[in-house]
Structure 1
Amino acid sequence: MSVLEIIAVLISVLGVTLTIKRHIACWVVNFIACLLYAYLFFEYQLYGETVLQTLFMGMAVYGFFQWKTAQQQKQHIVIQSLPLYKMWLQIALSSLLGLLFGLTLKWWTQASLPLLDAQLAAMSLLATYWISRKYLATWVLWIVVDLVYIGMFIYKELLLTAVLYAGFVVLAYLGWREWYKIRQQHTADSAL
């Protein structure tokens, strides 16, 4: 456990909390957390996670502008349902891309756990994209992904990060519950 890991954990918790509250600053805070974790994961030879954190930084910029545009157009940040066919298609595509990325890591790097690392990276990118689109299903995907991450981080002896991801599971549940209530209220208000 390093000082960097402690700081990254604290900033990550703040970022997820702001995301649950649908506060646009979540994207800036999450960008900083990703920057710190990119460095940390590189040091632990989790290259898929390093690439993921770099891509998350790009997604943070995308998400910020998505939400900023909605604010500027005086639109509410509306929680949406994700059609099942679209959900499964996106999961299948992400799985395929994760496999290709994992094989690339396996063949061309000394990455630790390349296939698992890459699959988790692909699913995490999908979940982040779903957050930017305000899909309720994002929180369920995060719960599943974070549970698997916990095992990987314990194996890699990143114990504080494993605890962080256990906290992320709880926060993802709270995020789902919060967004579900907001969606139900919006649906009820629309019916009036």
Structure 2
Amino acid sequence: MTALEIAANGFATASIVLAGRNSVHTWWTGILGCALFAWLFAETRLYADVTLQLAFIATSVAGWRWWVLGRGGEPAPVTHAPPRGLALLGAVSSGVALGYGALLYHFTDAYAPFIDSFVLTLSLLGQLLLVRRQVETWPVWIVVNTIAVPLYLSRGLTLTGCLYAAYWCNAWYGWWRWRREASAC
């Protein structure tokens, strides 16, 4: 466990807990955590995760704006994703994961390229749903965390793996809380 892993996890944990509580502060803490994680994952040859962290930084800027201003200057409400759109995004995410995994497998020394790619694409799906404040973000994060925990533990990222297990619990809480907020609207 390194100081970099501890710092990355500290900011990421704050961001994830704040997201479950529907707090706008999830975004700036997330940007800092993602920047640190990009560095950590580059050092451990989890290249799809480096790409993911850079995408998270970009989407965090967009999410921060959406949560504060929404449409017409009002904060965006918690809503449900349309089922058709969700199914399409799930299919695209799976296809991209297989393609990116194949690229990593053939052209890099990546560890577990297909599993790492599924963490990448499903995390992007979860992040897009989070940006839009859609309840369905949370079941996606449950799947991501279920896959990520053994991946990170297998690379010696014990703190990260253990925290992702805690994030799995937070995702269940976020799903419960956001469903309540969406039904109240």
TM-score category of the 2 structures, normalised to the smaller one: over 0.9
1:5 equivalent to 2:12? Answer no
Structure 2: gaps of 5 or more residues: none
Q: Take 1:126 and 1:9, find their aligned partners in 2: how far apart are those partners? A: 21
Range 62-71 or range 138-147, more displaced:
62-71
Q: Deviations over 1:5-46 (max 9, x none)?
A: 111111111101221222222111101100010000111000
1:143 equivalent to 2:168? Answer no
1:115 equivalent to 2:118? Answer no
**Map 1:39-58 → 2, pairs under 5 A:** 39-58=39-58
**Map 1:1-192 → 2, pairs under 5 A:** 1-70=1-70, 73-75=73-75, 77-186=76-185
Moved over 3 A (4+): none
Q: Take 2:175 and 2:152, find their aligned partners in 1: how far apart are those partners? A: 24
Q: Deviations over 1:73-108 (max 9, x none)?
A: 134x31111222221111000111111111111122
Q: Deviations over 1:163-192 (max 9, x none)?
A: 010010011111111111111222xxxxxx
Q: Deviations over 1:119-147 (max 9, x none)?
A: 11000001000001111111011011101
In the TM superposition, residue 114 of structure 1 has moved relative to its aligned partner by 0.9
Q: Take 1:154 and 1:120, find their aligned partners in 2: how far apart are those partners? A: 14
Q: Take 2:62 and 2:104, find their aligned partners in 1: how far apart are those partners? A: 26
Work out whether residues 67 and 133 of structure 2, in 8 Å CA contact, stay in contact via their aligned partners in 1.
Answer: no
Name the aligned partner's letter for residue 17 of structure 1: V
Work out whether residues 9 and 163 of structure 2, in 8 Å CA contact, stay in contact via their aligned partners in 1.
Answer: yes
In the TM superposition, residue 72 of structure 1 has moved relative to its aligned partner by 6.7
Structure 1: gaps of 5 or more residues: 187-192
- 1:170 aligned counterpart, secondary structure: helix
Pairwise CA RMSD of aligned residues? 1.4
Q: Take 2:144 and 2:25, find their aligned partners in 1: how far apart are those partners? A: 24
Q: Take 2:147 and 2:114, find their aligned partners in 1: how far apart are those partners? A: 13
- 1:143 aligned counterpart, secondary structure: helix
Structure with greater Cα Rg = 1
State the identity as a percent.
Answer: 29
Q: TM-score, with normalisation over the residues of structure 2?
A: 0.95
Work out whether residues 27 and 63 of structure 2, in 8 Å CA contact, stay in contact via their aligned partners in 1.
Answer: yes
In the TM superposition, residue 71 of structure 1 has moved relative to its aligned partner by 8.2
Range 165-174 or range 65-74, more displaced:
65-74
Q: Take 2:94 and 2:71, find their aligned partners in 1: how far apart are those partners? A: 33
What's 1:190 paired with?
none
